[in-house]
Amino acid sequence: MLTKRIIPCLDIKNGRTVKGVNFLDLRDAGDPVELAQFYAENGADELVFLDISATEEKRKTLADLVLRVAEKVNIPFTVGGGISSVEDVDVLLQSGADKVSINSSAVKRPQLINELSAKFGSQCVVVAIDAKKVEDVWKVHLVGGKLATELNLFDWAKEVEQRGAGEILFTSMNNDGTKNGFANQALAQLSTGLNIPIIASGGAGNMQHFADTFKEGKADAALAASVFHFKEIAIPELKEFLNEEGILVRK
């Protein structure tokens, strides 16, 4: 049985880590390099670094910041934001990233998933899907959640897998920043319908929420930001709690 992963997420805007609620009202959460080093030393299994305004501002991810973060961590490190080509990924992997996360660019040109998977291997390609439940239907959203599409979450997730993605990072916009728990029903549907790992994102507020998303949501990993950034949950204590709940985690 594979161990479940705990992944802090660093949302970056103007070189700083930020956190909001339902993708809005961003507030400063600290220096990304310092935070990354802290998490690497305190039990995080992986890190995700998302340059959240890169797509909206039509610019590339900050490769120099990736380099500085990579120098401080010894755990797998995923980078996303503004990635739209094989060349973009090349730069980030050379800067020290282990995996890349694509979102809007994959929806606009799905063949990009095939290209990245063929060039770098599926284990390197994470497709992030931001979705919002509207009138009982999960619709995919782009550009940091600002642009609604007609794409159905589950149809798109299936296509993403078929095109060669190695993992899906699913963020529920309804749950994001609310601290009311993850979207476990949707997560369970994704997990049972696909053969690649699903990372749960959006809604972590307490330790029980993590246990619930592994048990009920069948998630392979749980990603969170504010509860870690603002020291509401310590990762070593979270792992101890999950262990007591019978959930296999790395020490």
Is 130 part of the annotated catalytic residue set? yes
Is 11 part of the annotated catalytic residue set? yes
Q: What is the 3-state secondary structure (H, E, C) of 177-232?
A: CCCCCCCHHHHHHHHHHCCCCEEEECCCCCHHHHHHHHHCCCCCEEEECHHHHCCC
Q: Which two tokens stand for residue 77?
A: 């490190």
Q: Looking at 45, 88, 130, 212, which residue is catalytic? A: 130
Q: What angle do CA 175, 180, 184 make, to 5 degrees?
A: 65
β-strands 167-172, 198-201 pairing: parallel
Active site residues per annotation: 11, 130
